[in-house]
Amino acid sequence: MIRATIARKTWRAAVFPAAIVLAATLAPGSASATGAESAPTMLASTRAGSATAATTSCRDVELIGARGSGEKPQGRESYATAPDKGLGNEVYTSWQTALGGLRYLYSVRETTVQYPALGVEYLYPHSGWASRVKTWMAGVATGKKAVIAELAATAAKCKGTRFVLIGYSQGAEVMHQVLSSLAKNTTLLGRIAYVELVADPDRAPGQGIVLAGTASAKASGIDTWSRNSAKQAAFPIPVAIRRNFSW
């Protein structure tokens, strides 16, 4: 199932049933008796697109979360000491309030995407704007590569693990482009149980996903709007991941 959420005030009230949805999509597996939760894994920032193996044990569920623009950590700040486990407030809150109960049913691993997540103020200066946009999008590409590498590595090693992808703002753009890049990989897409894109810059109307919040169903994200202006195609959501559910 994939949900696109926009208005912060509305989506927090609407996401609770997501735990029921995800639980229904997870086949009975090797959940531990205590529903043990591991410490967050970090997708390595030292080499773009690679991942660190923080644990050798397989879990029933792996959350992969991408923080939003400007959220900590930034620059050389440590992920280990960052607020909200480096997931960012929106992703962490969504995970805890909507899906946190899964840890009592399944073993869970939380994985933090390490990518620049530059703040929007980086784009403000008019001088060198094109170069700044290029740097910004390179950061998104770094996050996308890291997520795809983590999905592939875990899926190959842990045959029963299902994935939850949550991204906010620029992090939602990362996750949106991950899904678009996996369009032909139906096997890996089939391992993704739930996706939540909060304030997605790549949102486009007519993609067959479940919408929440107050934005019009015809609304586009800022990057989709920019691509439309430049007559560039939007990033499509694969049909295989469009699992309709409403509440």
Domain boundaries, given as residue ranges, for the chain: 2-199+233-241
- 46 Cβ contact list (under 8 Å, min separation 6): none
Q: What is the pLDDT of residue 211?
A: 65
Q: Map tokens 């000491």 to a residue.
A: 81
Contact 103, 96 (CB under 8 A): no
Q: Interior CA angle at 195 toward 141 and 97, to 5°?
A: 120
Q: Which residues, other chains included, contact 223 with Cβ-Cβ below 8 Å and sequence gap of 6+?
A: 173, 201, 202
| Amino acid occupying residue 17 | P
Q: What's the pLDDT at 14?
A: 33
Structure token pair of residue 5: 């959420």
CA dist 2 and 165 (Å) reads 9
Residue with tokens 């980086």: 122
Residue 199 confidence (pLDDT): 86
Contact indicator for 18, 99 with CB cutoff of 8 Å? yes
Give residue for tokens 């906010």: 168
pLDDT of the residue at 45: 34
What pLDDT shows up at residue 224? Answer: 62
Tell me the CATH number for domain 2-199+233-241: 3.40.50
- Mean pLDDT for back-to-back runs of 10 residues, the chain (247 residues): 42 35 45 40 40 64 95 89 90 84 87 94 80 89 97 96 94 93 91 89 72 67 54 64 42
Strand partners, 196: 3, 166
